[in-house]
Structure 1
């Protein structure tokens, strides 16, 4: 079973390529299942203050879903498409996020923490935000938000759970307890996580999560899915061979797949 559950396309503004280009590329590289999972429109940031190419406009969301289902029907029998959303977790905005999710028939929703307030910790244009903050305090806030996302019941799995490390800003202290507390919350609420291979092309130079966190997730029995986080069609599936190898080294032999918000484990 070859899958890639984390992808983006031109509607989100900071990716390129049309949805159909990703589908054709998925067929080309031999994927059995492809998850289309673009970023949700932002609710907590005034669109007038968006940085360029920051997020999908709200009026594009229904068009995105419609096109996903059109492609699902068009390519039936050639590749199984799953219609998903990467849904930001924003503390205090749970009701609005939940209403947006409830409005569409998703196969799965990824819960990702990109924002601490209006600061996007994953945006290379906003790394100056670290300069005025205590790094350990940022890590504590981040993992607290991850735990709240896992406990919210809004999401099918947590995306790139340790993406806080993306740009190489270290906390200056051991944060194993913070990482493990987040994983334990995922387990407590019967959630799952992804192994996001895109970390290999960032300054962090390792996947999200780290091998240590992945091994801990395995010990806890947390289901894991897999994704390239491709923002260009040619990056679909990038580093997933390495990701599958690491999963097997950690003792993981099944992947989580999703359809109609139901999780199914498959051998790989």
Structure 2
């Protein structure tokens, strides 16, 4: 069972390659399932005046879903396509997010925290946002947002759970209590998480989440799925061999898959 549930494409503005290129790459490397999961359109900032190339325009969303469904059918004898959305959690916009989620036949919706207010902490162009800030306070704000995302009931799993570490900003004290509280909330809400391998190509040089968070997931029974967060077709499944090996070392023998918003655990 080889899966990759986290991919992006040209519509989002900061990825390259058409959806079909990702599908063909998935077939080429022998994936069992490929999840197409582009970013939800921006809701809380004006895409015309905010940083460019952040997410697909709202008018592209139905076209995205239509193309995903077309490719799912076209390649059904070669690969199992799952139609997904990375539904950025924006505090105060829960009803708008819910409307998008309910409008389309998703197989799964990833809950990801990228924004703290109007600051996208995942955007390399916005690193200056860290200047003058108490790093631990930013981590605290981030994990509070993660917990709020989990409690909405909107998502099937949470993506790149400790992505706040992406650019290498580390507090001067341990963050385990923040991480544990977020994971406990994930468990209480019955969600899964994602092991997102893309951290290996970012300054943090570590997958999202960390090994200690994954070990806690295994201890308390939080299911895990896999994603490369590919923004180029050639990066589909990048580092997922390492991700699977890490899960095996920790003791996982099942991964979470999703169909029509239902979770199934499969041996890998």
Report the RMSD for the aligned CA atoms in angstroms: 0.6
User: How many Å separate the matches in 2 of 1:119 and 1:128?
Assistant: 10
Equivalent position of 1:173 in the other structure:
173
Q: What's the counterpart of residue 183 of structure 2? A: 183
Residue 88 of structure 1 corresponds to which residue in structure 2? 88
Q: Which residue of 2 aligns with 1:21?
A: 21
Q: Distance in 1 between matches of 2:97 and 2:138?
A: 23
State the partner residue of 1:259: 259
> For residue 70 of structure 2, what is the aligned residue in structure 1?
70
Tell me, what secondary structure is at the counterpart of 1:41? coil
Q: Tell me, what secondary structure is at the counterpart of 1:81? A: strand
Which residues of 2 match residues 202-241 of structure 1 at below 5 A?
A: 202-241=202-241
* Alpha-carbon offset, residue 218 of structure 1: 0.7
Task: For 1:10-159, list aligned pairs within 5 A.
Answer: 10-159=10-159
Aligned-pair CA distance for 1:133: 1.7
List, as ranges, runs of 4+ consecutive aligned residues in structure 1 with deviation greater than 2 Å.
none
Worse overlay, 52-61 or 196-205: 52-61
Q: CA deviation at 1:52?
A: 2.0
Quick one: distance in 2 between partners of 1:132 and 1:56?
32
Work out the CA distance in 1 between the residues paired with 2:42 and 2:132.
25
Alpha-carbon deviations, 1:97-146, whole Å to 9, x = none? 11111110100000000000000000000000000321111000000000
TM-score (norm 1): 0.99
The residue that corresponds to 2:194 in the other structure is 194
d(CA) in 2 for partners of 1:149, 1:202: 24
C-alpha distance after superposition, 1:173-214 (max 9, x if no partner):
111000000000000010000000000000000000000110
Task: Give ranges in structure 1 of 5+ residues lacking alignment.
Answer: none
Q: Quote the offset at 1:50 in angstroms.
A: 2.4
TM-score (norm 2): 0.99
User: How many residue pairs align between the two structures?
Assistant: 268
Per-residue deviation, residues 150-186 of structure 1 (Å, max 9, x unmatched): 1110000000000000000012211100000000000
**What is the distance in 1 between the residues matched to 2:220 and 2:128?**
36
Where 1:47 maps in the other structure, the secondary structure is coil
Instruction: Return the alpha-carbon distance in structure 2 between the equivalents of residues 90 and 171 of structure 1.
Output: 24
Task: Please give the secondary structure, in 2, of the residue aligned with 1:59.
Answer: helix
Q: Secondary structure at the match of 1:48?
A: coil
Deviations 1:54-74 (CA, angstroms, capped at 9, x unpaired):
111000000000000000000
Aligned with 2:160: secondary structure? Answer: coil
